Amino acid sequence: MNFSNGLKPPKNRIIISIFLITALIGICFYYHFNFEYNEKYPSTDFILTNYPEGETVYVSGIFHGGYNGGFYIIDPSHKKVIYKINSSFTAEDGDTISIIGTLGPSFTITPQKIIINNGWKEYFLLIRSGIIAIILFFIFWRYWKFDFKNMEFIRRRI
Amino acid sequence: MPDWIAHVLVAWSLCTILGFKFKQFDTPNTVIAMIGSLIPDIFKIIIPLQYLGIYIGNFIYPIHLPVGSLIITVVISLFFKERKIIFLFLLFGFLTHYVLDFFLINLIGGMPLFFPLSWEQFEWGIIPADDYNFTLIIIVVALIVYFIKLNYIKFKKQDNNI
């Protein structure tokens, strides 16, 4: 059987696509159930179940207010978890903060490394990425069109 | 991540330069490579979902790894008439994405590029994820490539007229 002829009917390509997407979902499940055991440092999921006090952990979250000697961050995927970060770094509302540090009692972290992503920089990144995506869509449509009969994109004659 | 301007312009610049030598790197195929450069960032769908309170980043992360990007590339290329060449250009595009992301600073050690075969993580860790200066440099490089291309086209036209 000629493989490329076998791909011509749209039905065959749809079946292959469903198979491939299913395989991708399976890979995603595998990642989801195993990534914690293969992370360099435990993160919030592990902290909530095992609380490895005294160990180096990785947490990230959004700035949630300051105090004398540090600030708080809230993990958006675990909204009840608020970490207290003992640090002289300053952060502002909207900043996303990633930390590797030593886990102390009551979700206190003494950082070893901190990365602070300014909130406005993140929004600016998203906006300019969104603009280029829209431009790219129109450029694509200028050179390609969809053949509904054969269910495939073909070049436009320009 | 470097932003999408950086990813798209790197793919465009490389295809334009290669287009001086290889006719396959024409504009329609260059557009495909530019789209390919964004395939790994399909993962960024988690951003609007997070605003809705849905957190699935730890589930769909493999899309931002070569194995997931490769599967999506195959699926997309099935719906083009020139399947093989589209696959190659999408592949070229998403490989440029990983080269750029390799430069990013990542506290947790990088990307497990060979997942699911290996969990070992890789990164070079030079550029902060939100650094727009990197994008500015790429824009300047792309402009240089653009002007070289304009001059090349002018030169070829003159050459054909002789």
Mutation target among B55, B108, B123 for the A interface, most CBs of A within 10 A: B108
> How far A109 CA lies from chain B's nearest CA (Å)?
15
pLDDT > 70: what percent of chain B? 97
Q: Which of A46-55, A82-91, B81-90, B124-133 has the highest mean predicted lDDT (pLDDT)?
A: B81-90
Name which of B5, B59, B129 is nearest A32 (Cβ-Cβ): B59
Name which of A23, A77, A151 is nearest B55 (Cβ-Cβ): A77
Q: In chain B, whose CA is at the least distance from the CA of A19?
A: B75
User: Are B79 and A41 an interchain contact pair (Cβ–Cβ within 8 Å)?
Assistant: no
Among the residue ranges A71-85, B54-68, B87-101, the one predicted with the least confidence is: A71-85
What mean pLDDT comes out for the span A99-128?
89
Q: Please report the pLDDT score of residue B155 as a whole number.
A: 81
**pLDDT grade for A1, boundaries at 50, 70 and 90:** very low
Instruction: Please say whether the beta carbons of B93 and B35 come within 8 A.
Output: yes
> How far B13 CA lies from chain A's nearest CA (Å)?
15
> How far B151 CA lies from chain A's nearest CA (Å)?
22
pLDDT > 70: what percent of chain A? 96
Instruction: Return the residue matching tokens 């997407």.
Output: A21
Distance, C-alpha B124 to centroid of its chain: 18
Residue numbers in B near A40 (CB within 8 A): 108-109, 121
Name which of A29, A124, A143 is nearest B132 (Cβ-Cβ): A124
Q: Residue B143 in 3-state DSSP? A: helix
**pLDDT grade for B94, boundaries at 50, 70 and 90:** very high
- DSSP letter for A1, please: -
Considering only residues B9 and A94, tell me which one the structure prediction assigns the higher pLDDT: B9
Name which of B3, B83, B115 is nearest A125 (Cβ-Cβ): B3
**pLDDT grade for B29, boundaries at 50, 70 and 90:** very high
Mutation target among A12, A22, A27 for the B interface, most CBs of B within 10 A: A27
Query: Per-residue DSSP letters for B43-109?
Result: GGGHHHHHHTT---HHHHGGGGSHHHHHHHHHHHHTTBSSHHHHHHHHHHHHHHHHHHHTTB--TT-
Among the residue ranges A39-53, A137-151, B4-18, the one predicted with the least confidence is: A39-53
- DSSP letter for B25, please: S
Look up the ipTM and state it: 0.89
Q: Please report the pLDDT score of residue A118 as a whole number.
A: 83
Q: Please report the pLDDT score of residue A3 as a whole number.
A: 60
Q: Alpha-carbon torsion A74, B44, A16, B67, what sign?
A: negative
Residue numbers in A near B81 (CB within 8 A): 147, 150, 152-155
d(CA A8, CA A154): 13
